[in-house]
Structure 1
Amino acid sequence: MRTHKLILSASLLTTILLGVTACKDSSLLEVKPRTAVDSETALKTIEGLDAGINGIYDRLQSVVLYGRDMLAVSEALGDNAQFTNKSGRLANENRNVANNTFGTATSSGGSWLTAYLAINQANLILDNAGTVTVAAADTARRNSYQGQAYFLRALMYHDLMRIYAYDPGVEVASQNKGGVPILLTGVSDQSKITFPARAPIADVYKQIYSDLQSAITALGRSNAYAVAPNYANVQAANALFSRVALYNKDYSTVVRYATAAIAGSIKLSDNASYVGGWRAPKQPESLFEVQFAVASENIGVNTSLQTTYTTLVRPGDRGTTGGFGDLVPTTAFIADLEAEKSATGAVLDIRRQLYELGTAGRGTAFIETTKFLGKNGTINLDNVPVIRVSELYLNRAEANYFLGNTADALADLNVIRTRSGLPARTATELSGIALLNEIYRQARLEFGFEGHRWFDLKRTGKDVVKATAQGGGLAYTDFRILAPIPLNELSTNVSIRQNFGY
């Protein structure tokens, strides 16, 4: 007999109904949502909307989303990283072993479940926000909550597509099972449960576009109530639109929204401040990041990004061991960072300074990334950048390359190169495919260990090439390029088709 689990599980309804008990300020909601009626009542006030939107941000902190997996698992699957086996974590992901990705085919949910819980929270807010009667002074605040909900729903749908579906233009036709289910109405009780099929890829992108357009409109009327980078604002929504359009190979739209976001208040770091920015509680280039503000939000020594990436507790201190350093840069990645040198042999790329030798406290010392190093002053407690300004220049460079605007593409590429301490290149030095390859190379070096590389290889239809010890990689046509739909979803929703090969 089928039971209602996963996306809209009866047993999970109180969790789905807002996650208010985990909100950043649950005192804003006096009645906790023990029942469907309570949740709907809660969302009839401006304070309830505030608590609800904070509940979505809190859900992004989950290990299976931006607490770890959207960054670390994607790095393990790609070609930037190698596992150290100091704890055994992420070894199978790094070897690309089937069913070791963003959850498994037999798991209860993983990234799929958590993303859909966040989507349902956004749906409930959007269903109710328009009916909330507010004082004139709170109208902009309500608009902000609506805009943030649209942004967060778009982010979650795009992340689901990146994990579970082929990207537009590089589908493997014989293996393509479509996108992901689209749910746009909140579920507050069992009577509202539906079991939709996976929508076509194009339809999901159409919905994400719509959500981002709605987010930009709403946030444009109320940007003061969505303070970056901890809350989505107009600049972040424009930036996310540029990313989504790049995956969709909609290059003129990439240029439009990247340009709009670049014009915003948060600017690219300069050469002198870039490395120091990674030691600040908030990364100065962050347009949107997931905030970990208090001790209770600490993911801990087993699965936080700090413990995953490094044994260090502070830069330069090899005498104190903190985390495990489960996932470290490959020799090839470090060599690429060191490839451009001065006449005296000095490494030019300042980003190399974010990688240093870890401790021997848990075994062999490796070069590790120090992008996540307890910047809040507490070990394993880091805000996590989701979108940074530098992405906009590289998105626009890639889009302009494919539009034939190679001079503009080179100009944006050189913005990132010179900020990184590298010399600008000329059109004589970089043209044709060499220009495109350098754009991809700079994206790899710029976003090392921030979770971009696997998804960049996937969206461009490239094979993953690895050393034998890491499993040798996999061809783009391999079924392991896509994660499996969780078993509980398949057993509940007869309309869902599993990805090929599982």
Structure 2
Amino acid sequence: MRTLKSIFLSTSLLTVSLLAATACKDSALLEVAPRSQGDSQTALTTAEGFDAAVNGIYDRLQSVVLYGRDMLAVSEALGDNAQFTNKSGRLSGENRNLINNTFGTATSGGATWQTAYFAINQANLVLDNIGNVTFSDTSQRNRLQGQAYFLRALLYHDLSRIYSYDPGVAVPSQDRGGVPLLTAGVADQSKITFPARATVADVYKQIYSDLQNAIRLFSRSNPSAPAYGNLQAAQALFSRVALYNKDYATAVQYATSAIGGSIKLSPNASYIGGWRAPQNPESLFEVQFIVAENIGVNTSLQTSYTTLVRTGDRTATGGFGDLVPTTAFINDLEAEKSSTGAVLDIRRQLYELGTIGRGTAFIECTKFLGKNGTINLDNVPVIRVSELYLNRAEANYNLGNTTDALTDLNVIRQRCGLTAATLTGSAILTEIYRQERLEYGFEGHRWFDLKRTGQNVVKATAQGGGLAYTDNRILAPIPVNELSTNRNIVQNFGY
């Protein structure tokens, strides 16, 4: 993914609650990935080594079980935006919300948990050791340290929203707490611990601390955005985390700070084109890929969402189009029309009829379409500017600032070609939720947005009928390997 060397932490069962995956008895080793051909002795003793170590964390994010696919596609499958086509069989169990068909569990034995904690451990090792090395360029040290804090915060928030109830909406009789917090690196057997699950409040306290540290360390300029963590991205992530935490004043504060940054909302005329560019101009942070890191025709986002190779060409079939928009989702995009019957919402242009090369043609999402010029190779936006306006709108509504909430809501509506809404009361929140659904469609937000607001998941019978919020399947199960090696971990209710 990166031009710098990539460093990986090779671990085994000995890293237990963090990284349990096999029954191997080898101790943890810090080693440079073969492709980097670097000297492992320089790993965490030089500025170059820390560059490589931080890049290794970004490489982890590329995994299919994280931002290579699952954080987006599995979230959409679990929620109510999408329906499975069964063209390859992939994502059908997740879309029907079958037991044990969720993040990293159906086919990979808990690989989402494992991979996220691998990456967290890499961040911990960077943070543990970076103070011991002299950097000729203090700004480089700050940048690398800030990125480690930023990435650890992102990963802990992702783990929390997958495996734990979100603040304020727990089902008390089923609540087993948050996820284990490990903030010291495991580099050898002597560092192994067996932590229990922290409280959700403590997990959020740690995430807040990491983001505050990242913001303190990042410079005001964003030369590394969006390929690396940066100030505007850290502020934006803080607004998201605070919104989940029902800490609405903080969500407003950091959304406002991030909106003031250098990356701005795309205007109406260039919004669709931004999705065709190699790097989305609205991205504050995105996981980027080079050609050698192509995920391929089985599990890339492109193949998961569409059969098309390029827009407007139904003669060439590429992927499988395993997960496509429901009729209800498309109808919602088409709900507002001009006096002549034309669809007003420009986001509808990101969904078009696929090919018949894999069977029946469906309307498919084309947000991910080989933007790097190679089929199945996409840079993946994790945080976009539009989220800031909707975060702030929702937070302001909950603070009683309905005028401000409506103003931000209308920024997004008008950018998308819709007229300004004149709403009052709860209708404002309903429209904020609707715009969140349409704006982030197939970007991995919908399942988590339903979950953090305590809403039922409503689906057609063919998709399993959905889930009541009190259903235990709202939370993913803790991986069995983790339970067998760390007896202090308590499994989620119902598994």
- Does TM, normalized by the shorter one, top 0.5? yes
Contact 1:72-1:451 within 8 A present in 2 as well: yes
Q: Deviation per CA, 1:14-71, whole angstroms, max 9, x where unpaired?
A: 9975663178xx35xx323xxxxx4xx5201000000000000010000000000000
Q: Distance in 1 between matches of 2:376 and 2:69?
A: 11
Matched position secondary structure for 1:156 = helix
Aligned 1:210-225 pairs, distance under 5 A: 210-220=209-219, 223=221
Matched position secondary structure for 2:128 = helix
Number of aligned residues: 482
Q: TM-score, normalised by structure 2?
A: 0.95
Matched position secondary structure for 1:184 = coil
The one-letter amino acid paired with 2:210 is D
Contact 2:286-2:383 within 8 A present in 1 as well: yes
* 1:107 to partner: Cα distance: 5.2
Further displaced range: 13-22 or 351-360: 13-22
Q: Deviation per CA, 1:176-229, whole angstroms, max 9, x where unpaired?
A: 0000000000011011010100000000000000000000001137x56x6101
Identify the residue that residue 320 of structure 2 maps to in structure 1. 324
Contact 2:19-2:115 within 8 A present in 1 as well: no
Q: Deviation per CA, 1:285-307, whole angstroms, max 9, x where unpaired?
A: 000000012x2200000000000
Contact 2:120-2:155 within 8 A present in 1 as well: yes
Q: Distance in 1 between matches of 2:390 and 2:28?
A: 37
Q: Deviation per CA, 1:341-364, whole angstroms, max 9, x where unpaired?
A: 000000000000000000000000
- Alignment of 1:267 with 2:278, yes or no, is no
Identify the residue that residue 168 of structure 1 maps to in structure 2. 167
Matched position secondary structure for 1:87 = coil
Contact 1:182-1:199 within 8 A present in 2 as well: yes
Q: Deviation per CA, 1:265-286, whole angstroms, max 9, x where unpaired?
A: 0000000000000000001100
* 1:13 to partner: Cα distance: 9.8
Distance verdict in 2 for CA 1:313–1:16, change over 3 Å = farther
Matched position secondary structure for 1:408 = helix
Ranges in structure 2 where 5+ consecutive residues have no aligned partner = 1-11
Ranges in structure 1 where 5+ consecutive residues have no aligned partner = 33-37
Identify the residue that residue 58 of structure 2 maps to in structure 1. 57
Matched position secondary structure for 1:238 = helix
Distance verdict in 2 for CA 1:18–1:390, change over 3 Å = farther
Q: Distance in 2 between matches of 1:333 and 1:380?
A: 24
Q: Deviation per CA, 1:109-130, whole angstroms, max 9, x where unpaired?
A: 3110000000000000001111
Q: Distance in 2 between matches of 1:333 and 1:307?
A: 20
The one-letter amino acid paired with 1:20 is V
Q: TM-score, normalised by structure 1?
A: 0.93
Contact 1:105-1:487 within 8 A present in 2 as well: no
Q: Distance in 2 between matches of 1:159 and 1:18?
A: 25
* 1:139 to partner: Cα distance: 1.0
Identify the residue that residue 4 of structure 2 maps to in structure 1. none
- Alignment of 1:455 with 2:448, yes or no, is yes
Q: Distance in 1 between matches of 2:464 and 2:125?
A: 44
Matched position secondary structure for 1:476 = coil
Aligned 1:75-224 pairs, distance under 5 A: 75-104=76-105, 108-135=109-136, 138-220=137-219, 223=221
Contact 1:106-1:488 within 8 A present in 2 as well: no
- Alignment of 1:278 with 2:286, yes or no, is no
Q: Deviation per CA, 1:404-439, whole angstroms, max 9, x where unpaired?
A: 00000000000000000000112xxx1111100000
**Would you identify which runs of 4 or more consecutive aligned residues in structure 1 move more than 3 Å?**
2-6, 8-20, 105-108
* 1:104 to partner: Cα distance: 2.5
Distance verdict in 2 for CA 1:164–1:290, change over 3 Å = same
Matched position secondary structure for 1:130 = helix
Matched position secondary structure for 1:273 = helix
Q: Deviation per CA, 1:69-102, whole angstroms, max 9, x where unpaired?
A: 0000000000000000000000010000010001
Distance verdict in 2 for CA 1:322–1:127, change over 3 Å = same
Distance verdict in 2 for CA 1:12–1:6, change over 3 Å = farther
The one-letter amino acid paired with 2:342 is A
Matched position secondary structure for 2:324 = strand
Q: Distance in 2 between matches of 1:420 and 1:345?
A: 17
Identify the residue that residue 299 of structure 1 maps to in structure 2. 295
- 2:284 corresponds to which of 275, 283, 287: 287
* 1:498 to partner: Cα distance: 0.3
The one-letter amino acid paired with 2:39 is V
Identify the residue that residue 18 of structure 2 maps to in structure 1. 7
Q: Deviation per CA, 1:150-186, whole angstroms, max 9, x where unpaired?
A: 0000000000001000000000000000000000000
Q: Deviation per CA, 1:308-329, whole angstroms, max 9, x where unpaired?
A: 0000000000000000000000
Contact 2:153-2:211 within 8 A present in 1 as well: yes
Contact 1:288-1:387 within 8 A present in 2 as well: yes
Contact 2:103-2:110 within 8 A present in 1 as well: no
Identity %: 77
Identify the residue that residue 35 of structure 1 maps to in structure 2. none
- Alignment of 1:368 with 2:380, yes or no, is no
Distance verdict in 2 for CA 1:14–1:218, change over 3 Å = farther
- Alignment of 1:494 with 2:493, yes or no, is no
